[in-house]
Structure 1
Amino acid sequence: MANLSLAEAVKLKSILSKRIHELEEEMDRVAFVELEKGSALPIQSRTLTHVEQEIEEVRKDFRLLDKLMYQANVEHEVVFQENSLTIVEAIELATQLRAKARKYKELGMAAKEEFPYSYGPESTSIIKLARFEPEDYRLKAIEAERQANRLSNAINAKNYSIELAFDADKYF
């Protein structure tokens, strides 16, 4: 049995998920037939039973691949900012860094001072004043995004070095 890198497994999982959806659609197509009453049933190249058997095989492979991927993500580590993190922790940290960068970008685009439309009397002036420096948050956003990219690159590199015992020949 050939091995599969964790990076390839991520792609294969997507392929298997798509295949399951295709087979579910095929089940719908072969399960029913419209014909004139009294007419002979048309010959089908695949029966509902055949499709059911195939979808069960793909689902079984999907579960095995998912299990192997989860195990690898817990058992293997990447180093980031002099800390060793399991891959699952690193994935979550990268997600959090991207969320942080997104929020910091919003704050970085804010005006230091603005005059919003007022519903009050004409004589009242309302100003919206930022209690922070937008430029500081723009720079923080750039750094958070840079860190997220570095961590994602480390995860990807690690994913190519991890081999899973899974035979993907029938899918690739």
Structure 2
Amino acid sequence: MAEGFAFLLADNRTRLIHGVLKSLYLRPTDDDYHDYFQEACLLFAEAYCDFPQNIANHETDLMHFAYQKIRWRLLDQRKRATWQQSCCECSLDSPALSPTQKELLFLDPASNSPLAVTAKNDLFARLATLCTKKQRDYLLSVVVRHMTDSEIARYYHVSRQNVYQWKRGVIKKARKLL
């Protein structure tokens, strides 16, 4: 790894790292730019060690190899960070949440209390009105009949891909609803 770092720092090769970060639309003014820069340096050293050919004769190939490795890994990290952030943005102090929604966040989904049952039934009814016929069939099969995706595909004589499509549609509409 030390050889990889030495190779990176020689002859201004850190331009490769800056190029990768630029291709990912990261700017030096971004808060996490330096974190990604450090991560990219580690990935370069790793790529240097993993490169199968003689580096002295194939420096250009190494640079292409390292560029792709760094870009793909950082792209995955950014996607994961964005996904985690979008999933965790909800705050109980958020003015976007109504008092009813705040109350529903604390309900136990397995609870049979009248409030929980009413909330589940209300959500199911509102979601069913937004869905297409096939999506309603999927929703009914999952919620009422407790069927798996494969069982639904056999029951409706369609492919699992169609069932997954219905499922994605229901999920999108549920997210809009919530």
TM-score range, shorter chain: under 0.3
| Between structures 1 and 2, the one with greater helix share | 2
TM-score (norm 1): 0.26
More relative contact order, 1 or 2 (CA 8 Å, 6+ apart): 1
Higher CA-based Rg: 1
